[in-house]
Amino acid sequence: MLYIILLIFAQIFLVLCDLPHHKFEYKYSFKGPYLAQKDGTVPFWEHFGNAIASEEMVRITPSLRSKKGSIWTKNKTAFDWWQVEVVFRVNGRGRLGADGFAFWYTENKGVEGPVFGSNDNWIGLGVFFDSFDNDNRGNNPYIMAMYNDGTKAFDHQSDGVAQQLAGCQRDFRNKPFPVRAKIEYYKNVLTILFHNGNTNNDEDFELCVRAENIYLPQAGYFGLSAATGGLADDHDALKFLTYSLYPPGTQPTSQNIGDAEKEKFSKEYEEYKDKLEKQKEEYRKEHPDEAKRKDMEFNPDEAYETSQQRELQQIFQGQSSIFEILRGLHRKIDEVIGRQERALSMLSAVQTGGVPQGQGMPPPQVAGGGGLGRHEVEALLGGQRELVQSARDIKSFVTDIHQRTGTIIAKQSDGKPSGGTAFEAAAHFQEVKEALNIVKRDLAAVAAKSQGGPCPVVQPTSCLPTSYFFIFAILQMIVIIGYITYQSNKESQAKKFY
Ligand SMILES: [Ca+2]
Ligand SMILES: [Ca+2]
């Protein structure tokens, strides 16, 4: 047990002892502020194509179609092992971007070409940040390292899948913080660590590539390049920090410059820095608009904020106009409802007969879009008028009838004592009828007697005497005349009534 712990400690000690010594190489580096000089050049570097250097960064391509740019060190390296940290941003408006960004360590400086802005057949190392998925495997953005002995052309069609030393699929586009790649070549081992830019924490590097037995040119140029295609991203390099690496015990010990000289240089640097600050301040005072524009140009974060604010402003304006329109609609609806209510109240007044019809009364106004049309309301009113007129006519007619009935009744009560009612008349009639029936029966009996044979001979006195016959006849005549008189009287009364 103790043996194992000792072994682990020994290994850790060996690893720690083997950590290389880092020396910053300013002639192979750039970073802001004051990255570029006034003439747009970067000290110890030269850029080509569409690359533009500003105080804060080198925009290797702008987000425009079919652009290519690159930046290369002026001098070849003079150290065996190195570590480079590249801090960059690949930002585009689209969900997809193109083509990508490349780091180079090559025997010769690159020239403009098809490999992310640089040439094929390079000798040395290319590390590619390939944004666009050419082979449609859904594995981009992709980071890969490729060694070339000067004979190979990068196979874009397959995204170089068969040509890579190693690689990893990592999204490096549109990150909240700049992304970083730490590329180390030490004792023929190539290591690439990647920081995805989701945080600002220096510790968040993760391993992407580790390849052993890599033999790169003894001395070479560092470079960055980028290209856009049909799709386009801004490819911005913010920092390029190069360190030469020395195995423990081999680091350069002697300082070539003495303390006095060092002091002099640092003093000069401070003076230069103050002077530059003053000049900048003066420039800002003299050209406030220009300075503001430049600030925006060189600081994409602020520009981004501005575009966001503009969007918000547009949304706000749109909402305000919608609100205005809604308010107008609301007002109109209120108006329509008001008119409808007025019309309805008028209608109900007409129905209850409270509103006099006729002239001087304005017709109720009803909006066309409401429940009742104007013509409908007018038709209704016309109908109402007609109804009222008819009702008046009927009333006068009924009054007339009433009056007439009154006079008839009065006349009847003034007239015959025999009683005015039909019932009484019918009773009388019945009486007369019965009387007539009796007369008829008697007559029939008389006739039967006269036809049945001769009068009984034995009793001649029992035959109807002549005087009796005449009395009956006279009575019958009186009754008939009375009835006819009564009937005619009745008819004349009835005619009067109608
Ligand atoms: Ca690609
Ligand atoms: Ca791919």
Centroid of ligand 2 to alpha carbon of 140 (angstroms): 5
Residue 170 C-alpha to ligand 2 middle, in angstroms?
12
Q: How far is the CA of 315 from the centre of ligand 1 (A)?
A: 37
b/e per residue 43-62 (b: at least 16 CB within 10 A) = eebebbbbbbbbebbbbbbb
Q: How far is the CA of 94 from the centre of ligand 2 (A)?
A: 18
Q: How far is the CA of 120 from the centre of ligand 2 (A)?
A: 19
Other C-beta atoms closer than 10 Å to the C-beta of 30 total: 23
Ligand in closest contact with the CA of 162: 2
Packing angle of the helix pair 300-351, 288-298 (nearest 10 deg): 100
d(CA 169, ligand 2 centre) in Å: 9
The stretches in the chain having pLDDT less than 50 are 355-370, 415-422, 450, 452-462
* Predicted pLDDT at 144: 96
Tokens of 34: 């004051």
Which ligand neighbours the alpha carbon of 130 most closely? Answer: 1
Nearest ligand atom owner, CA of 102: 1
Number of helices (H), then strands (E), in the chain? 7, 18
| Cβ atoms 147, 166 nearer than 8 A | no
Q: Can you tell me whether residue 373 is helix, strand or coil? A: coil
How far apart CA 325 and CA 312 sit, in angstroms, is: 20
CA of 160 to the centre of ligand 2 (A): 8
Distance 417 CA to ligand 2 centre (A): 131
The helix/strand/coil state of 246 is strand
Residue 71 Cα to ligand 1 middle (Å): 21
Kindly identify the ligand whose nearest atom is closest to the C-alpha of 138. Answer: 2
Q: In the numeric block, which tokens belong to residue 259? A: 């303390």
Distance in Å, CA 436 to ligand 2 centroid: 135
CA torsion sign for 265, 266, 269, 270 is negative
How far is residue 235's CA from residue 69's CA, in Å, rounded to a whole number? 9
Angstrom distance (rounded) from CA 15 to CA 21: 13
Ligand closest to Cα of 96 equals 1
In 3D space, the residue among 213, 206, 173 whose CA is nearest the CA of residue 190 turns out to be 213
Task: Kindly identify the ligand whose nearest atom is closest to the C-alpha of 116.
Answer: 1
